[in-house]
């Protein structure tokens, strides 16, 4: 019967980062369980791949201040590419309320050590991107170290490094039960056999609640569909552009291959495991795209190339990280609310520290604890795309 010091449930980018950080810290006895035949078939492979430090809360900014430099040094550290491109994020404000919000965030970000962020005027935005309809833009915020990564490459690099250094990856394996005894977690039952362990980390993404139930807890994480629409090759907007966010309605886009990747979070979307693409959504997003970027009217879109993935949402749009006191040995890395890829490096560091030493200096993990929901200590992140 296999015995493992640590079992990680979920082989996406979060589970891969945790495996990397554990093995990098010297813990080689790690088994990662992935139900698919290959990694990245859940949310990781469907992500937009944006990374940013322009958040509204200190804890999210802190996680980005670890994660983005990690991605910048990824190939040097691990010997594998992650496709980090520091092309920036540009938030375009269209009301005084937006501008005040960006200013407050900017002050918080600078106070925490983010040196690359700056407030920009409406004229600067017009000069940067004259292709934007800017009659209602009154200013914005830009950070040059924000940008994009290739989530699949990053995930593969993290897991390959981990397995090269002793971790095991069990693919095509379902977790069917989690066993407890008087001391807490004692085993994980899988379709490949039973693993005796005292430490289980739930990194199951949008499916985290089902894993939580196996351990006897109700995890407040819900799946929510997010649809991405790529254009065909298009050269009327510069491919050096950052992620550009229209704060009037949440439409955002970035360069992708020879075209652009269009995104918008439909406020009418309802929770559920839905990954089909609604034809009406494509109409909605193209309307918003052409309104903010008139030349996008001439960008061709093949609806069959659009795809949908799942955000794993919590009520306050922050992840749940750390131990569950009621179930000794059960750890959570769930509920990233669309920020799993960008915060995967920090999550790996935080979980590795908590599991191996019982403490973490990177962030105040009490802010992200499971108990905050029962105690009504929610920390609302309002900068969610």
pLDDT of the residue at 221: 97
Q: Give the relative orientation of helices 344-357 and 58-72 as an angle to the nearest 10 degrees.
A: 100
pLDDT, average across residues 270-293: 95
Interatomic CA distance for residues 216 and 317, integer angstroms: 23
Residue 196 has pLDDT above 90, yes or no: yes
Angle at 97 between CA 255 and CA 380, to 5 degrees: 75
Interatomic CA distance for residues 248 and 291, integer angstroms: 11
Q: Where residue 66 falls among pLDDT bands split at 50, 70, 90? A: very high
Contacts of 16 (CB under 8 A, 6+ apart): 32, 39, 155, 156, 158, 159, 162, 344, 348
Interatomic CA distance for residues 124 and 122, integer angstroms: 5
**Ranges of H-type helices in 305-370:** 344-357
pLDDT, average across residues 171-187: 96
Residue 226 has pLDDT above 80, yes or no: yes
Residue 255 has pLDDT above 60, yes or no: yes
CATH of 86-146+223-311, one of 3.30.70.1150, 3.40.250.10, 2.130.10.10, 3.30.9.10: 3.30.9.10
Top-tier CATH class for 6-49+151-221+315-374 = alpha beta
Among residues 193, 167, 201, the alpha carbon closest in space to that of 2 is found at: 193
pLDDT of the residue at 92: 98
Interatomic CA distance for residues 271 and 267, integer angstroms: 11
Contacts of 283 (CB under 8 A, 6+ apart): none
Three-class SS state of 208? helix
pLDDT digits (tens, 9 = 90+) for 86-118: 999 999 999 999 999 999 999 999 999 999 999
Residue 289 has pLDDT above 70, yes or no: yes
Q: Where residue 374 falls among pLDDT bands split at 50, 70, 90? A: confident
Question: Tokens 């030349």 belong to which residue?
Answer: 295
Query: Of all helices (H) and strands (E), which one includes residue 77?
Result: helix 74-78
Q: Is 347 exposed, middle or buried (0-12, 13-18, 19+ CB in 10 A)?
A: buried
Residue 162 has pLDDT above 90, yes or no: yes
**Ranges of H-type helices in 112-171:** 122-128, 151-164
Interatomic CA distance for residues 306 and 262, integer angstroms: 10
Phi and psi at 222, nearest 5°, equal -125, 140
Q: DSSP state, 236?
A: S
pLDDT digits (tens, 9 = 90+) for 5-56: 999 999 999 999 999 999 999 999 999 999 998 888 888 888 999 999 999 9
pLDDT of the residue at 383: 67
Mean pLDDT of the chain: 95
Q: DSSP state, 304?
A: G
Q: What is the pTM of this model?
A: 0.96
The Cβ of residue 257 has, within 10 Å, a number of other Cβ atoms equal to 11
Q: Where residue 385 falls among pLDDT bands split at 50, 70, 90? A: low
* Four-residue CA torsion sign, 158, 161, 166, 169: positive
Q: Where residue 1 falls among pLDDT bands split at 50, 70, 90? A: low
Among residues 260, 249, 254, the alpha carbon closest in space to that of 92 is found at: 249
Interatomic CA distance for residues 238 and 76, integer angstroms: 29
For 238, the token pair is 């510069």
pLDDT digits (tens, 9 = 90+) for 301-337: 999 999 999 999 999 999 999 999 999 999 999 999 9
Domain boundaries, the chain: 6-49+151-221+315-374, 86-146+223-311
Q: DSSP state, 3?
A: B
């Amino acid at each position: 019967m296999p015995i493992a010091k640590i079992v990680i449930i979920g082989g996406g980018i979060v589970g891969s980062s945790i495996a990397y950080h554990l093995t990098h810290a010297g813990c080689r006895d790690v088994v990662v369980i992935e139900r698919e035949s290959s990694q990245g078939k859940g949310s990781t492979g469907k992500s937009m791949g944006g990374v940013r430090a322009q958040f509204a809360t200190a804890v999210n900014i802190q996680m980005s201040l670890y994660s983005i430099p990690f991605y910048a040094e990824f190939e040097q550290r691990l010997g594998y590419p992650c496709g980090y491109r520091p092309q920036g994020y540009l938030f375009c404000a269209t009301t005084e309320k937006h501008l005040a919000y960006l200013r407050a965030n900017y002050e918080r970000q600078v106070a925490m050590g983010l040196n690359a962020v700056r407030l920009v005027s409406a004229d600067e935005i017009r000069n940067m991107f004259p292709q934007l309809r800017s009659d209602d833009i009154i200013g914005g915020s830009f950070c040059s170290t924000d940008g994009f990564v290739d989530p699949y490459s990053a995930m593969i690099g993290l897991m390959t490094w981990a397995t090269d250094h002793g971790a095991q990856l069990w693919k095509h394996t379902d977790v069917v039960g989690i066993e407890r005894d008087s001391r807490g977690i004692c085993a994980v039952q899988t379709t490949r056999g039973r693993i005796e362990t005292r430490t289980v980390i739930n990194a199951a993404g949008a499916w985290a609640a089902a894993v939580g139930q196996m351990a006897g807890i109700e995890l407040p994480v819900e799946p929510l569909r997010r649809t991405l629409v790529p254009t065909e090759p298009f050269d009327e907007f510069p491919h050096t552009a950052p992620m550009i966010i229209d704060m009037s309605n949440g439409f955002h886009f970035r360069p992708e291959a020879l075209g652009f990747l269009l995104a918008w979070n439909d406020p009418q979307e309802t929770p559920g495991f839905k990954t089909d693409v609604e034809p009406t959504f494509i109409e909605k997003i193209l309307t918003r795209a052409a309104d903010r970027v008139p030349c996008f009217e001439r960008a061709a879109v093949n609806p069959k190339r659009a795809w949908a993935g799942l955000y794993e949402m919590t009520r306050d749009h922050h992840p749940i990280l750390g131990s569950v006191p009621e179930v000794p040995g059960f750890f959570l890395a769930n509920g990233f609310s669309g920020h799993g890829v960008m915060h995967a490096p920090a999550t790996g560091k935080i979980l590795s520290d908590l599991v191996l030493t019982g403490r973490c200096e990177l962030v105040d993990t009490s802010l992200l604890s499971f108990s905050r929901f029962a105690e009504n200590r929610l920390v609302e992140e309002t900068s969610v795309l």
